[in-house]
Amino acid sequence: MPEREIAQRATRAKLLLGPGPSNPDPRVLRALSEPTLGHLDPDFVSIMDETTDLLRYVFTTKNRLTIPVSGTGSAGMEAAIVNTLEPGDTAIICVAGVFGERMVDVATRAGARVVRVDASWGAPVDPDDVRKAVKLNPQAKVVGIVHAETSTGVLQPLDEIARIAHEAGMRLIVDAVTSLGGVKVPVDELGLDFVYSGTQKCLSCPPGLAPVTVNDDTLSFIKNRKTKCQSWYLDLSMIERYWGSERFYHHTAPVNMIYALNEALRIIKEEGLEARWRRHCLNQQALVAGLEAMGLKLVVQPEYRLPSLTTVFLPEGLDDVRARKKLLDEFGIEVGGGLGKFKGKVWRIGLMGTNSTKPVVLTLLTAMECVLVEEGVKVPRGVGVARALEVYSAAE
């Protein structure tokens, strides 16, 4: 059998405006190419320490255990659940989209009894429903909820739900994969017990690490469980010893990815968290104004919109896959299609980190207008860009 010829890589730069990954900052890509060191090298250890300090800044926390787990955001989800639940425990999981469903799946695989609190897609979870579930299941050990539901574009208010969980003596697990670095994640303010995220969204870093932060009470539980964590690789009682003062070997850390995260976090600190949050809000406001001027309908009500991810219903008759392919092939712009109940019905538009800028918003609106017109959708020429510019002018 003849050897298969190795094809030349033909990657080209594209504007990633889907639900993630987002485009990394060029400084982050340069950091990836720095010389690889041993994972216990003193020079690398100092970078580890600085990275944890910067993560505490971005998470707005003083939690000692604030580290990047080796794996994508899904590894963060699994680490949160398998470390805080033991077989037979009850978990109350809030489900308002695909990633709430995944939390249910992981908790079930961990041997937990799951009580679901469901909400309509495109709407937040009602705290009263959580209160009822907590009252009916006082033995529950955790409440799990998604802060930024990537499948719907909803930003979930956490204040009341955190209060309900804590008053009942339950730990709160929070998915902040699409919110960290784009909006405030109130870790210490609300006493969130275990929060996980991913590098490839608002942090503008390639996928591959899952930043997590765990408070001391939850860490104490993890270290004193009755049963061993079902995952050796994600067992934080061991990983914590590597990231802490012991530097006890657990696994070979992805050294260059940690360089990249370190640089991404430096960029965030240089900008300032509050300035970064304001930037994400302003650019979404301009995008929304442009989309609505073009006659498109938004999925989420204004008060619950996630600034880093906007969901918009497709015009009637538009071929979802063909239109997105045209946007990608002709303009080099990626947007995301709908998942689950929204498949074929919505687009998910990410303005995350480096990509949340005025030039990006105006470029996207122009390209979308061209595609929609070519696909037979009646769009007033130039109205999307004009309306977005009004938003920017008003903010100056």
Q: Is the pLDDT of residue 1 over 60?
A: no
The stretch 365-383 carries a mean pLDDT of 96
- Give φ, ψ of 116 to 5 degrees: -90, 140
| Residue 20, domain member (yes or no) | no
Both 128 and 224 in one domain: the answer is: yes
List pLDDT tens digits, range 27-66.
999 999 999 999 999 999 999 999 999 999 999 999 999 9
Which of 218, 240, 270 is the last residue in one of the domains?
270
In a domain, 4, yes or no: no
Q: State the DSSP code for 3.
A: P
pLDDT digit string, tens, across residues 60-85: 999 999 999 999 999 999 999 999 99
Residues β-bridged to residue 149: 154
Separation between Cα atoms, residue 355 and residue 359, nearest integer Å: 9
The last residue of one of the domains, among 237, 270, 303, is: 270
Q: Do 99 and 44 fall into the same domain? A: yes
Range of the domain at 378: 272-395
Task: Please tell me the predicted confidence (pLDDT) of residue 9.
Answer: 83
Last residue of a domain, one of 270, 293, 326: 270
Banded model confidence at residue 2, pLDDT cuts 50, 70, 90: low
Q: Is the pLDDT of residue 15 over 80?
A: yes
Q: Using one digit for the tens of pLDDT, what is the confidence trace for 291-332?
A: 999 999 999 999 999 999 999 999 999 999 999 999 999 999
Same domain, 135 and 80: yes
Give yes or no: residues 263 and 277 share one domain.
no
Structural domain includes residue 46: yes
Kindly state whether residues 116 and 212 are assigned to the same domain. Answer: yes
CB 268 within 8 A of CB 276: yes
Tell me the average pLDDT across 211-220: 98
205 and 136 inside one domain: yes
Model confidence at 11, pLDDT cuts 50, 70, 90, reads confident
277 confidence band (pLDDT: 50, 70, 90) = very high
CATH number of the structural domain spanning residue 370: 3.90.1150.10
For residues 205 and 55, what is the distance between their CA atoms, to the nearest angstrom?
A: 13
Instruction: Answer whether residue 242 is part of any domain.
Output: yes
Statement to judge: residues 134 and 86 lie in one domain: yes
Q: Which residues contact 305 (CB under 8 A, 6 or more apart)?
A: 153, 154, 155, 284, 288, 298
Judged against a pLDDT cut of 70, whether residue 395 lies above it is answered with: yes
Assigned domain for 13 exists: no
Q: How many domains does the chain have?
A: 2
Note whether residue 17 is domain-resident. no
State how far the Cα of 192 lies from the Cα of 65, in Å rounded to an integer.
Answer: 13
362/17 Cα distance (integer angstroms): 13
**SS3 labels along 94-110:** EECCHHHHHHHHHHHHC
Residue 177 lies in a domain: yes
CA–CA separation, 14 and 110 (whole Å): 38
Same-domain status, 280 and 262:
no
- Are residues 253 and 376 both part of a single domain? no
Please determine, for residue 3, whether its predicted confidence score (pLDDT) is greater than 80: no
* Residue 365 and residue 287 in contact, taking contact as beta carbons nearer than 8 Å: yes
58 and 265 Cβ atoms separated by less than 8 Å: yes
Q: Domain check: are 193 and 140 in the same one?
A: yes
Quick one: pLDDT at residue 7?
Answer: 83
Q: What's the mean pLDDT in 83-104?
A: 98
Residues 208, 334: one domain?
A: no
What is the arithmetic mean of pLDDT over 347-351?
98
Question: What CA–CA distance (Å, rounded) separates 100 from 108?
Answer: 12
In three-state secondary structure terms, 235 is coil
CATH of the domain at 109: 3.40.640.10
- Average pLDDT score, the chain: 97
pLDDT category, 5, cuts 50, 70, 90? confident
pLDDT tens, residue by residue, 116-152:
999 999 999 999 999 999 999 999 999 999 999 999 9
Residue 193 has pLDDT above 70, yes or no: yes
Kindly report, residue by residue over 356-367, the tens digit of the pLDDT: 999 999 999 999
Query: Which residues have C-beta within 8 Å of that of residue 289, sequence separation ≥ 6?
Result: 387, 388, 390, 391
DSSP 175: E
Q: What percent of the chain has pLDDT over 70?
A: 99
Do residue 142 and residue 156 come from a single domain? yes
Position 324 in a domain: yes
